[in-house]
Chain A
Amino acid sequence: MAYRPCIGVEVHAQLLTDSKMFCGCSTQFGNTANSQCCPVCSGIPGSLPVINRKAVEFVLRTGTALGCRPAPRCRFARKNYFYPDLAKNYQISQYEEPLTAGGRMTLEVDGEAVDIRIRRVHLEEDTGKNFHLPDGTSLVEYNRCGVPLMEVVTEPDFTSAEQVREYLNELRAIFRYLGVSSAAMEEGAMRAEPSVNLVDPLTGDATPRVEIKNLASVRAVYDAVKYELWRQQQALDAEEPMTQQTRRWSVERQETQVMRDKESSEDYMYFPEPDLVPMEVNEAWAARVAAELPELPRARRARFVTEYGLPAYDAEVLTAQRELADYFEAVARTAGDAKAASNWVMGDLTRLLNETAQAVAASPVSADQLAELVRMIGEGRLTSKLAKDVFEEMFRTGGSAPDIMAAQGLGVVNDAGELEPIIAAVLSENAEAVASYRSGRKQAKGVLVGAVMKATHGQADPKLVNQLLEKALG
């Protein structure tokens, strides 16, 4: 009688196009209400939709990356329902003929590989927004109405909240790698709706499916799934009757609450969109999309380990963002030292970018410049300690390492000729330490080394100093 979790996930992601799905209005957000609308997206009579080619490309790209096949022929369909934020009281979406279908994603959760089947990735338009006023009325605006939306639907293959979390993180990374969506859940650019129930694998008995909405972060999804699995198990154990429902996640109360019973599910009266003609993706188009796919996060992580010999942890951190991984590789290749590059990128670069709230793309230090710095350290031209200061200056001014060092008179002094007189001076000024050393107390050298470093403002090459001192001390 052991029921196991059975979870499917539906993700909606706003696509990074400049204009809307079916009209030329801007997709920028944060502007005055109803300032980015036209007859098409505000549902004015007589208007007609025209498909944004780039949105189609983005979905093909994503579907292909997820192992889906593009449909040789597909259509848009009308999903008919009434709601104030739906300008036409139907949403143009895809129903029987999605753009792509039949893919899979392999996840690694707690060391185990988990295969999730991707049922479909399709294209549709977003709705407008409602705001509820205290007097019981609502305000509606349509700036968001018509923004291209990509929908990714999995089969109910998940068996834990951990898997769902891993899936969402990986999916987000993929969206960003492909440049198709910002996938920022907090901004509403990506929304996830898990469907949860419990199934008895032996008898096939199952609890009714419950859809969960109102999840604004991966964390919330994780918590909600965990909660819902627990709630359904409780109800099962107590032999309480359960119905198919849509529930909303309450962050405040950390529980799911009934939104509506789905005993009679909505009838959306789907039919093919008569204002749009079908789309045909031929072999050449599908092949080009596949050929243009960038390396995906999972593959890149693996390659960083094998090609650069990086630890898994480094690979994980560096590949979290495609731009960061690109930057790292540029540095690593030019500098010829992957681990050093990794340390600098994960360490000082990330820290300074975070402090100044900048993205990698806006980094004042270019990959070439950082590579140069790394190389210089490797060549012994400056100490790593000094390099940290130089890097901060590079970040602040955008200058290169050599320029900054020259300007500040910095540089490892590793010219014996330059050091010998300084050493000679130090020896003559520290007769006691010299005597101490010569009488067998080797630790006394430390004092002398310190004095040489002080005299050279920390720029003397410690190894050379040691060597020369040894010689001088005899």
Chain B
Amino acid sequence: MDIVSREDVLHVAHLARLALSDEEIARLQRELNRIMEHFAELQQLDTEGVPPTSHPLPMTNVFREDEVRPSLSVDEVLQNAPDRCDEFFRVPRIVDTEA
């Protein structure tokens, strides 16, 4: 019995905005299940009381002062735009999923 189901893969593919073919979904499902076996090893380790390390460096409080710096020109910002309309990026229909 696979830990990772086809539905799981579809759900994740949507979260990651990847349009996948059936073939690929099957491939990814296979790969994810193989990796789950790997992860089972991690679960075995006792990490009670162990703090997580999201950062290898013990630094804190790195700030910059509130000073305005030169921005890129409008052309520079838009120079790689797949679809440019005057000073804007243009995209297909935006459905209001976020206000």
Q: Which residues of A contact B (CB under 8 A)?
A: 17-19, 23-26, 32-39, 42, 50-56, 73, 81-84, 130-132, 136-142, 213-214, 246, 248, 259-260, 267, 269, 271-272, 274, 276-280
Contact = CB atoms under 8 A, between A and B. Distances in A.
Interface in B65-99: 65-74, 77-78, 85-94, 96-99
Contact of B96 (A19, A34, A259, A267): A259
Contacts of A278: 55, 60
A37 B61 contact: no
Contacts of A142: 77
B99 A214 contact: yes
Given A36-B71, A37-B77, A137 B64 contact: no
Given A33-B88, A136-B92, A278-B55, 9 more contacts: A19-B66, A34-B78, A42-B77, A50-B63, A83-B98, A139-B88, A139-B89, A140-B89, A279-B61
Contacts of A73: 60
15 contacts: A19-B67, A34-B74, A34-B77, A34-B89, A38-B71, A50-B62, A130-B94, A139-B90, A213-B99, A214-B99, A274-B55, A277-B55, A277-B59, A277-B61, A277-B62
Contacts of B60: 73, 277-280
B72 to A, nearest CB: 5
A278 to B, nearest CB: 5
A248 B90 CA distance: 25
Contacts of B88: 33-34, 131, 139-141
A53 B15 CA distance: 33
Given A137-B90, A138-B93, A35 B74 contact: yes
B68 A24 contact: yes
B72 A39 contact: yes
Contacts of B17: 82
Given A26-B71, A36-B71, A214-B99, A139 B64 contact: no
A24 B92 contact: no
Contact of A38 (B55, B64, B72): B72
A140 B87 CA distance: 9
A126 to B, nearest CB: 13
A130 B93 CA distance: 11
Contacts of A213: 99
Top 4 nearest A-B pairs (CB, nearest first) are: A24-B69, A139-B88, A53-B63, A54-B66
Of B67, B70, B94, most A-chain CB atoms within 10 Å: B94
B54 interface: yes
B53 to A, nearest CB: 10
B50 interface: no
A379 B1 CA distance: 96
B60 to A, nearest CB: 5
A19 B86 CA distance: 25
A381 to B, nearest CB: 48
B57 interface: yes
A338 B69 CA distance: 46
Given A50-B62, A51-B63, A140 B91 contact: yes
A272 B96 CA distance: 28
A141 B57 contact: no
Given A32-B74, A35-B71, A36-B71, A141 B63 contact: no
Contacts of A17: 66
A298 B91 CA distance: 48
A35 B59 CA distance: 34
B61 A280 contact: yes
B21 to A, nearest CB: 20
B59 to A, nearest CB: 4
Nearest to A213: B99
B25 to A, nearest CB: 19
B54 A18 contact: no
B74 A33 contact: yes
Contact of B87 (A33, A52, A56, A267): A33
A213 B97 CA distance: 12
Nearest to A53: B63
Contact of A32 (B55, B87, B97): B87
Nearest to B88: A139
Nearest to B80: A44
A137 B71 contact: no
B54 to A, nearest CB: 5
A33 B86 CA distance: 9
Interface in B39-59: 54-55, 57, 59
Given A35-B87, A138-B91, A139-B88, A51 B62 contact: yes
A259 B98 CA distance: 9
B95 to A, nearest CB: 10
